[in-house]
Amino acid sequence: MIPVPHFGAIWVYLAGTPLLGLTLTLFAYLIAQRIYAACRFNPLANPVLIAVAIVVVVLETSGTAYETYFDGAQFVHFLLGPATVALALPLYRQLPNLGRLALPIFASLAAGSLTAIVSAVSVATLLGASRQSIASLAPKSATTPIAMAVAKEIGGVPSLTAVLVITTGVFGAVAARGILNLLHVTEVEARGFALGVASHGIGTARAFQVSEDMGAFAGLGMGLNGIFTAFVVPVLLPVLSRLL
């Protein structure tokens, strides 16, 4: 008989190679997707949240350093760029509608982005958060790479910002449908754009599960909010700090 390797031996082998992060990420997401499907795609069973929880538990239980994990996970991280660029294709198909909706889009962008920034900074300030924490929190509704870069420039902690961004995205993906229904927002374009502005990539992924049209407008909202946040937060944060 061919001897079957012990799981511990397999783990030791993987831990010494970049395969660890890649394998763990893929398996965690596959398990999370199975759970999501078993729950009939209920937003509460968000696969990103479940996959993150699985990865955290495995790393903590095995005592594996995050740096070791990311040596392999960076390959998945790299694919975020091409995946984001690919959002241009469904958006291109919506070009006939963009001219008609230009004014509502930019008005919604300003309202949504400013509300996210001002509310986060105001609540954190009132609760006595440190300046560094507030700076980490301010760009939380932008997509992760932009939010981390902005946080670094204004004195925040990029790693903390990444956690806040993911938390914001998961909350949006879970709660958006109920909130938008409560507000009687029924247009696909409005629902998608709101989800993209408020919940970036995770919200956009959720929007694509509903329809391609909603996903296209969510991608537009995510991209425009990232640009808007990068320009506005460094200027607005000092003003809010003086006022509050």
pTM for this model (two decimals)? 0.78
Q: Report d(CA 86, CA 212) in Å as an integer.
A: 13
Question: Greater confidence, 80 or 45?
Answer: 45
- Which carries the bigger pLDDT value, residue 42 or residue 124? 124
Compute how many other C-beta atoms are within 10 angstroms of the C-beta atom of residue 78: 10
- Residue 115: per-residue pLDDT: 92
pLDDT digits (tens, 9 = 90+) for 31-47: 999 998 898 887 778 88
pLDDT of 114 strictly over 90: yes
In terms of Cα–Cα distance, which of 205, 14, 46 is closest to 54?
46
3-state secondary structure 36-85: HHHCCCCHHHCHHHHHHHHHHHHHHHHCCCHHHHHHHHHHHHHCHHHHHH
Structure confidence by residue, pLDDT tens digits, 164-210: 888 888 888 888 888 889 989 888 889 999 999 988 888 888 888 88
For the chain, percent of residues with pLDDT exceeding 90: 21
